Amino acid sequence: METIEPLFKTAIEEIERMLNSKTVVGEPMAIGDNTIIPLVSVGFGFGAGAGTGKESKNGEGSGGGTGGGGGVKPVAVLVINDDGVRLESVKSGTASVIEKVAETIVKTAQKKDKED
């Protein structure tokens, strides 16, 4: 069926557009003396289908469609500072990412206080 091909092609092109290195490795953020880089897991799924049919009463018919969905889940943050580089795992959700960033800021502030 010809009508499904452009729909399928469009779905594939959109997936290719979305999947790149910036999708799983976020933009670096400078917070104090720390650089925080979020790492995320990306998942998606899609389907496409088409069909034709013939019925004696109503004649012929055809149809097609595509659909899909996806999600992004934070899994870790990379923390870079004067002490080196470390990976902090994120247990679940955005709140945990914010908690990790806050913990990093607190740890850095405590270290500076001890040095002074």
Collect all residues with Cβ–Cβ distance below 8 Å to 74 and sequence separation of at least 6: 38, 39, 40, 41, 90, 93, 94, 96, 97
Look at residue 85 in the predicted model and tell me its pLDDT. 93
Q: How far apart are CA 81 and CA 110, in angstroms?
A: 14
For residue 93, what pLDDT band results from cuts at 50, 70 and 90?
Answer: low
pTM over 0.75: no
Q: Cα(first)–Cα(last) distance of the chain, in Å?
A: 74
**Domain span at residue 96?**
4-115
Exposed / middle / buried, residue 36 (Cβ in 10 Å: 0-12, 13-18, 19+): buried
How many independent structural domains does the chain possess?
1
User: Of 29 and 44, which is predicted with more confidence?
Assistant: 29
DSSP strand pairing (59-81 vs 84-89):
antiparallel
